[in-house]
Amino acid sequence: MSDKKLIIIDGHSLLYRAFHALPPLTNKNGQMTNAVYGFLLILFKAIKDVDANYLVACFDTKKPTFRHEQFDGYKAHRAPMPEGIASQIPIMKKVLEAFCVPVFEKEGFEADDLVATISQKAKSDADVFIVSGDLDNLQLVDEKVKVYTMGKGIKESVIYDEGRVKERFGVSPSQMNDFKALTGDSSDNIPGVLGIGKTIAAQLIQNYGSIENIYLELATDTLVVKPKIKEALKNDKDKAFLSLKLVLTDKNVNINFKLEDCKFGNFDRQKITSIFLELGFHTLIDKISTYARTT
């Protein structure tokens, strides 16, 4: 265990989760604040739970990514971001800036790619905890990287290590991309293989290890599965390999990340207090001193 514990915040994902978990909340000016409030509740709990002393945040941009170039239909079915969330993103970034938390975003890439890149850069020097509202980052889990997410609502938390990933999905973190390439992901419009659900996908990967091995076995007619599964795999081979490309995160995005820039606690308490009063977050003001290391 390292004495450095880094939280990487998956910004948009966490805001979405908080927004949908909490009832509408506005400040005195009528600005919605529930997503920011929930975001902070989750973050403060995560900092306490993992004893984090380094923080960094990653956000998506509005621009298309390299995945849209690979597949026109990527995320095509996703509804536009609700205005209630969109209007809170600048507020959330303002709060993070006041806490002196570095924020990364890069056109052409998703927050998940930045999370993956930072995880790889940081894990030799720190224990890494990815705080997210979804499970897209399970592919990054190893002995130094864990995913911290919510159970029901935002009060319960779950930490996914290698054992917990395998217990839930039946595959190792390093096989999660192959798993999702078979099952697809409707939220991102990743096609997968029609007719293959989570149980069959896990069995195939347990038996053959990867998408590549499954199709090698299929090509030599040594794949031991029911005929209808064989037929589905044959029909959707191109979709399976496309899906594998789409779910793989880029771990080598060119960003200027330095772990020591992320040390948490050196912020202006009065500045944070002023922002919290403006937002109506009176119950969070007492928590500020908990996390401040200097004035």
Q: Is residue 167 part of a domain?
A: no
**Is 275 among the domain residues?**
yes
**235 lies in a domain?**
yes
- The per-residue pLDDT for 189 is 84
pLDDT of residue 295: 40
Q: Are residues 68 and 188 in the same domain?
A: no
C-alpha 194/C-alpha 13 separation (Å) is 27
> Are residue 138 and residue 32 in the same domain, yes or no?
yes
Output the domain CATH number for residue 193: 1.10.150.20
The answer as to whether 282 is a domain residue is yes
Interior CA angle at 73 toward 118 and 16, to 5°?
50
Residue 190 lies in a domain: yes
In a structure prediction context, what are the per-residue pLDDT tens digits for the chain, which is 295 residues long? 789 999 999 999 999 999 999 999 999 999 999 999 999 999 999 999 999 999 999 999 988 787 867 867 667 667 788 889 999 999 999 999 999 999 999 999 999 999 999 999 999 999 999 999 999 999 999 999 999 999 877 788 999 999 999 999 999 999 999 999 999 988 888 899 999 999 999 999 999 999 999 999 999 988 889 999 999 999 999 999 999 999 999 999 999 999 999 999 999 999 999 999 999 999 999 888 888 764 4
Residue 71, pLDDT score: 67
Question: Which residues span the domain enclosing 235?
Answer: 173-247
Residue 168 domain-assigned (yes or no)? no
What 3-state class would DSSP assign to 25?
A: coil
Name the helix (H) or strand (E) containing 288.
Answer: helix 288-291
Q: Is 185 in the same domain as 61?
A: no
- The total of structural domains in the chain comes to 2
- Strand 54-58 relative to strand 103-104: parallel, antiparallel, unpaired? parallel
Report how far apart the first and last C-alpha atoms of the chain are (Å, whole number): 29
Rounded to whole angstroms, the Cα distance separating 212 from 264 reads 43
Alpha-carbon dihedral sign for residues 243, 246, 251, 257: negative
Within this chain, do residues 186 and 223 fall inside the same structural domain, yes or no? yes
